[in-house]
Amino acid sequence: MIDTHCHIDFRDFDRDRAEVIADAVACGVDRLINIGADIESSRRSLHLAETHDNIFCTVGVHPHDSKTLTPEFLKEMEAMAASRKVVGIGEIGLDYYRNLSPHDIQKKAFIQQLDLAAALHRPVVIHVREAMDDALQIIQGYAGKMRGVFHCFPGTTEQAKRLAGIGFLISVNGVLTYKNSRMAKVAQEVDLEMVLIETDCPYLTPEPHRGQRNTPAYVRFVCHKLAEIRRMDVADIDKITTRNAEKLFRLVDMFE
């Protein structure tokens, strides 16, 4: 299994990071993609990836921190992406829920990083909250030029299908296990070829551990829930979602 979206560089893991990684492997989660969210966490993600064979990373600036995206950091991201362990640009996107950066600045940072990803031929990891219409409109302009995933998918089945049409994927996480989640309905209705699993840890802990810190090992609860929703074997869901992630992030090429 692959946890395609985790943040184990965060302070929440400072006291037991090595155990958290070992525990994930022991639970069958053999690869992790650690996601950059700002300048510092992108640097820490790259460091983790370069010091662990089974960790890959992305670099990028989250919409909350759009204000901090400088031309210097864009250059640094490009330099970091020369590493084979940087498998994408992200997380980037639009967040009109918390609105920690003004909308026009969020859009500008999103587009600058999409342009960088297109130039580097890297997939993107997209965070969207309460901004699906604007995000879809912007992404439409990159159709055919890049691939990517809308992580912690916040949209409808119809929006997911539009994304599939332009080669984009969605990822699901602990939210699947919460009561009345729209994510569960979407996960039931879309083509499995467009679905990845993730934790977004330390956030969004799946049941039955909700309320505690989330960790990559818990991606197995997401896999189990998806299997239950689709009425399929866990092993088949694991196989399909792992292959989807390997293809999107080109994890297989890495060993050829």
Of 202 and 227, nearer to Ni ion (C-beta) is 202
Of 21 and 125, nearer to Ni ion (C-beta) is 125
Per CB under 5 A, contacts with Ni ion among 195-254 are: 200
Question: How far is residue 82's CA from residue 85's CA, in Å, rounded to a whole number?
Answer: 9
Of 68 and 227, nearer to Ni ion (C-beta) is 68
194 Cβ neighbours under 8 A, 6+ residues apart: 160, 163, 164, 168, 169, 170, 244
Phi, psi of 18, deg, nearest 5 = -65, -40
Number of H helices, E strands in the chain: 9, 8
Residue nearest to Ni ion (CB): 200
Beta bridge partners of 89: 59, 124
Write out the two tokens for 82.
Answer: 């020369």
Compute the least distance from the CB of residue 119 to Ni ion, in Å.
Answer: 24
Compute the least distance from the CB of residue 91 to Ni ion, in Å.
Answer: 5
Write out the two tokens for 256.
Answer: 């050829």
Per CB under 5 A, contacts with Ni ion among 185-204 are: 200
11 Cβ neighbours under 8 A, 6+ residues apart: none
Of 10 and 73, nearer to Ni ion (C-beta) is 10
Site string for Ni ion, 147-186 (x = CB under 5 A): ----------------------------------------
Compute the least distance from the CB of residue 67 to Ni ion, in Å.
Answer: 18
Interface residues with Ni ion (CB under 5 A) are 200
